[in-house]
Amino acid sequence: MRSHLSFSLRKKSVIMRTDQTEAIVLATRDYGEADKIVILFTREHGKIGSIARNAKKSRKRFGGSLEVFARLRLQIVLKEGLSRLEGSDLITVYPHIRENLAKIGYAGYACELVDRLLPEAQPNTRMYRLLASYLEYLDSNPALADDRRFFEVNLLNILGYRIPLENCRQCGAALDAAAEMRCQPLNGGIYCVLCGRSGQKISRQTVTLLNRAMETGSFGKIRFPGESLREAGDIIDPAIASHLNRPLLSLNFLRETLPAEGN
């Protein structure tokens, strides 16, 4: 499929242009002895792959800024395939995140999730704001699983994968007056008491909080008390997994680092 990045053709040659944009680094990997492949989530152009020539040696051009979840201003030559990263100015590396293992885990997880689920070269300013807001919040507040769930449910909603919380997945009955609801991790979705005789019980409180999370514009406003946090995971985790073709590496790190995430 052809990229949606802007380009023009003259006599079958691609006319490239250097652009300045803001971006969050989603992933990096070494390429050869001196170069780096950098996956960027740009505010104007969406997710793009780029190559930073001589990045491991050139402090003047990149200044050590090409780190996962760093926020940058870039000079980049946009083109099909890998764009060419010419230079970067650091906005922030979110220093307080990097001082705390739990915060590193949550920030890395958020970036990997966006990388894996976001299509290439399709601008998505709502998603950019969501990720930037989460990183900013993590940088100055404790790392809590509640905020991870807030991020996930809004990410799915923005991408058009909204979790259906209003009706039974099987029969379509409204759940607003259901005496009992259940979710089935292998199938996803929420079921009324007649259709969901097996699976995990879900409280009305949990469903209400997830709906509020998609209506609330700020991190830190939604907290899942008691069993609601586990129930939120029972609903969200299979919904995310259904859109992935392989497990998230950062999720293993979270579960090993934070005992509560192993549930």
State the distance between the two ends of the chain, measured CA to CA, in whole angstroms. Answer: 39
Q: What's the mean pLDDT in 108-118?
A: 98
Question: Is 68 inside any structural domain?
Answer: yes
Counting beta carbons within 10 angstroms of the beta carbon of residue 15, is it exposed (0 to 12), middle (13 to 18) or buried (19 or more)? exposed
**pLDDT surpassing 80 at residue 59:** no
Q: DSSP 3-state assignment of 20?
A: strand
CA-CA distances (angstroms) from residue 153 to 122, 148, 149, 179, 214? 20, 9, 6, 24, 7
The radius of gyration computed from the CA coordinates of the chain, to the nearest angstrom, equals 21
Q: Are residues 171 and 247 in the same domain?
A: yes
Question: Is 49 inside any structural domain?
Answer: yes
pLDDT computed for residue 198 by the predictor: 82
pLDDT computed for residue 56 by the predictor: 83
Are 87 and 61 in contact by the 8 Å Cβ rule? The answer is yes
Neighbours of 172 (CB within 10 A): 12
CA 23, CA 87: separation in Å to the nearest integer? 12
pLDDT computed for residue 2 by the predictor: 38
**Residue 242, domain CATH:** 1.20.1440.120
Question: Is 236 inside any structural domain?
Answer: yes
Q: What is the pLDDT of residues 123-143, one digit of tens each?
A: 999 999 999 999 999 999 999
- At 9, phi and psi to the nearest 5? -120, 130
The count of structural domains within the chain is: 2
Provide the pLDDT confidence category of residue 10 given band limits of 50, 70 and 90. Answer: very low
* Residue 259 DSSP code: G
**Residue 33, domain CATH:** 2.40.50.140
**pLDDT surpassing 90 at residue 113:** yes
Q: Are residues 181 and 243 in the same domain?
A: yes
Question: Is 122 inside any structural domain?
Answer: no
Question: Helices in the chain by DSSP H: which ranges?
Answer: 59-62, 101-117, 125-140, 145-158, 204-213, 228-241, 249-257
Q: What is the pLDDT of residues 184-204, one digit of tens each?
A: 877 778 998 888 878 889 999
The total number of residues written for the chain in this structure: 263
When mean pLDDT is compared across 3-7, 40-44, 207-211, 244-248, the lowest value belongs to 3-7
Q: Are residues 188 and 256 in the same domain?
A: yes
Q: Are residues 170 and 75 in the same domain?
A: no
**pLDDT surpassing 90 at residue 18:** no
> Can you read off the two tokens belonging to residue 242?
């259904």
Provide the pLDDT confidence category of residue 3 given band limits of 50, 70 and 90. Answer: very low
**pLDDT surpassing 80 at residue 12:** no
Q: Are residues 245 and 152 in the same domain?
A: yes
Q: What's the mean pLDDT in 31-42?
A: 94
Q: Which domain holds residue 160?
A: 144-262
pTM (2 d.p.): 0.89
Average pLDDT, the chain: 89
Q: Are residues 148 and 256 in the same domain?
A: yes
Residue labelled with tokens 């989530």: 41
Question: Is 139 inside any structural domain?
Answer: no
Q: What's the mean pLDDT in 71-89?
A: 93
